[in-house]
Structure 1
Amino acid sequence: MDFILYMIFLLLSLEQVVTVPLARRRKLQPTFLPTPTNITVHRGELAVLKCHIKDVGPKMVVWREQARDVPLTIGQEIFSPENNMAIEVHKISEHETQYDLIIKDVETHHSGTYLCQVTATKLYTHYVTLTVLDEPIKVEKRIKLTGTEFVNQDSRIMLRCNVTGALHAPDDVDWFFKGERIMTQLPHWRDRTQILRRTMGRMYISELIVDRSTLEDDGIYVCRSSGSSIDVEDITVNVLSADKPNVSRRDKANLSQTGDIGPSSSAMVVFQHSSMVYILTLISYVMISLTSNGFTRLTTHTLNLSRTVFNCDNCVYR
């Protein structure tokens, strides 16, 4: 079986080579460009073995393990009996192509040296060593829900739920409102609600967008991840009625300064003037009792003091 597969590889390579003129074949000698040659991952992670080739032309590229003669991939075809292997081919430029061997959910038996080979006038080989640590990576699961907490009626509600898995992103994220799952086709949400989803590595991002919010949208929203592990986070959204007047602290301060709140300034002046007259009268009686001619002196002194306090030049004391 191994011999047959290897012969298929040789035949495919020869078929590609003979269709290219000799002068062009001499110019297109493949060259391996620098890529990581030592890869270390934890059990259960994704391993990516890169093979960046310049001037590969029509030649076939093969990935295989050093300990085995059976190819894992030939070109873009998979020959590995395992379902967790794949090949990704990226055409970077006219002369550069990258053939990446992908191994999902790696196990310790995947450790070893892998060969990326190109057959031309001679065999070109690029070596990559993979080391799989015998313990899963320890990553704390996280869920974070952010977004609109206060919104005016008829405005947009935007909520964003970020869920990070321990080894990979969760399968999906569900949204709930007041204990009921949000279905965009239901009458309450129809034609004004979107649920956007995307994944970035181990992170799953889901966004809930509700246009033209109503008072019925006021309440608790829940984001829940699904899959092997379930995480839940909630947020309270307050929809403010358009009929309620909004009086800010600044407005209240302005009202107080203009005299609309609290006692008026004129009343305070009258109170102060009345108190001053009472005090001056009391002093007058005391001065009269102390001196025989004090009445005249007291009258003059009181009048002058009154003019100073009340800023009145025409005041008459009686």
Structure 2
Amino acid sequence: MTAPFASMIQDGSTHQDPAERFARWVSGGSADDLPLPGSGATRQRFRALHDLGRADLSMARLAEGHADAAAILAELKAPAPRPGERWGVWAAQPPGVTLRARYEGGHWRLDGVKAFCSGAHSCTHALVTADTEAGRRLFAVATDGAGYAPIAGTWLAVGMAGSDSPDVRFTGVPGRPVGETDAYLRRPGFSHGGAGVAACWLGGARGVADTLVEAARRREPDQLTAAHLGAVDVALHSAMCALVVAADAIDAAPLDGGERAVVGTARVRAAVADVCSRVLDEVGRALGAGPLCHDREHAQRVADLTVYVRQHHAERDLASLGTLLLSAGGGAEASEWDR
């Protein structure tokens, strides 16, 4: 299962448009081959997301969104994506940006603006959170109708440029409700999706580290380069182990959406985010500015990872984790050895 993803690094396809590669990934059946989280094969799911991130983080962002949408639809007992459909999940809620849904004449309609809509021009459908009179709810929308309009100039990023994540304006766009009010956040799979994103981050870090490995093989052996390489290897290994533990925990209790699951996902995201920062720092110190200035692919990977990993909100997410641990009576317990 991993061979098609690994081959992306070898065949030069990283130079293609991420949207084109995303479309090929879906139409070629790779999306359908991805195991659902909690199915007993979550390690394989995370490995596939890791390999996509290693090849191209922008494409991985699009693929992860489609994979997450398929998992959400399955969990909430909604129809699965049809062949050829490309889905995203647009659930960001930044301050000052509001999307509302109203029920009139037997139909739901969405009005307002949604931020950070990855694949806004390449997805055929999306799961979108919107505010209703009863609370926040998830809706399935098509992107080919009147009233759907990506807003030019709202995605100016250099890092993750290919993820195509502008704001989108909705004007009377039809929406099909998926699940009940607040079901998107209450479902166990919300934590599963968060860990899957971390697998993409780790793949991006591995891609950045590949440049160091290749440079070390070309150079005369020296202790400083070897030390940086060793530090990067230990960091990547620790993050991989954390993801494996998270995958096994999901498979052991796929319906657990409680405190333990939330803590587990928060830990693995924080651990992988720290490793990504460590890898960026170690590789930069080992190789200097040369590859950032003369190796376009490496420079793009560094920029992409720097932006993508900011989905982890640093001290804010750590504070949330710490507060949850205190309310539960402490931190890691001896029972962790018994997983």
- Pick the TM interval, shorter chain: under 0.3
Of the two, which has the highest radius of gyration? 1
> Relative contact order, CA 8 A, sep 6+: which one is greater?
2
Q: Give the strand-richer structure, 1 or 2.
A: 1
Q: Give the helix-richer structure, 1 or 2.
A: 2
